[in-house]
Structure 1
């Protein structure tokens, strides 16, 4: 298995663990009361903002740990360059990820048009971000295994 495949697998599992762990951490903090209260908007706003920051920091830390572990176990350095295949696979992964996130964003805005609670919009946005991140990792793994 190549470095890129291993990195994609680590990214896939870390995305799932970060998202599930953060959701389990934030679920008990959900405010009671009405669906459209100020506390509810504050909760969902902080949920999205903190999830974004936490995810970025956690991915950086996991990437550093992965590179250290990879170097220790294989006695090889991680590749310091990207060839055309790596760039093409990265672009395909970005395309798929971006398409899914924009679709989720439009779906979230559509939920407001059809008078759904604002919580539905936040949940759809959060899930769209999660699914788009998974799709990017899965696309990379698929193309590194099967080719372009």
Structure 2
């Protein structure tokens, strides 16, 4: 298994663990009962902002730890360059990831057109962000395994 495949697997697993654990952490704070619009927006705004910050910091730490463990176990350095294949795979992963997020964004805006509560819009946006991250990692793994 190549470095890129291992890194894609680690990022995929860490994305799932970070998202699920954060959702379980934030669920008890969900405002119940008759929701004040300001309270609802405050909750969902903090949910998205903190999830973004936690996710970025956790991915940086996990990448550093992965590189240290990879170097210790294989006695190889991380590849210092990306060839055309790596760049093409990265572009395909970004394309698929953006496509999933745009579909989720359109569904979220459609939920507002259908007079759904604002919570539905935020939930769709959050899950589409999560699914787009997972789609990017799965696309990378697929193309490194099967080729372009």
Alignment of 1:1-148 (within 5 A): 1-148=1-148
**49-58 vs 27-36, which moves further:** 27-36
Counterparts of 1:38 and 1:4, CA distance in 2: 44
Counterparts of 1:36 and 1:128, CA distance in 2: 25
Task: Number of aligned residue pairs: give it.
Answer: 148
Whether contact under 8 Å (1:36, 1:117) holds in the other structure is no
Counterparts of 1:91 and 1:51, CA distance in 2: 25
- In the superposition, the TM-score normalised over structure 1's length comes to 0.98
User: Tell me, which stretches of 5 or more residues in structure 1 are unaligned?
Assistant: none
Runs of 4+ in 1 over 3 A off after TM superposition: none
The Cα shift of 1:36 comes to 4.7
User: Tell me, which stretches of 5 or more residues in structure 2 are unaligned?
Assistant: none
The Cα shift of 1:33 comes to 3.0
The Cα shift of 1:40 comes to 1.4
Counterparts of 1:33 and 1:40, CA distance in 2: 11
After superposition, the CA RMSD in angstroms is 0.8
**32-41 vs 69-78, which moves further:** 32-41
Counterparts of 1:111 and 1:51, CA distance in 2: 22
- In the superposition, the TM-score normalised over structure 2's length comes to 0.98
CA distances 1:85-122 after superposition (whole Å, capped 9, x unpaired): 00000000000000000110011001001100000000
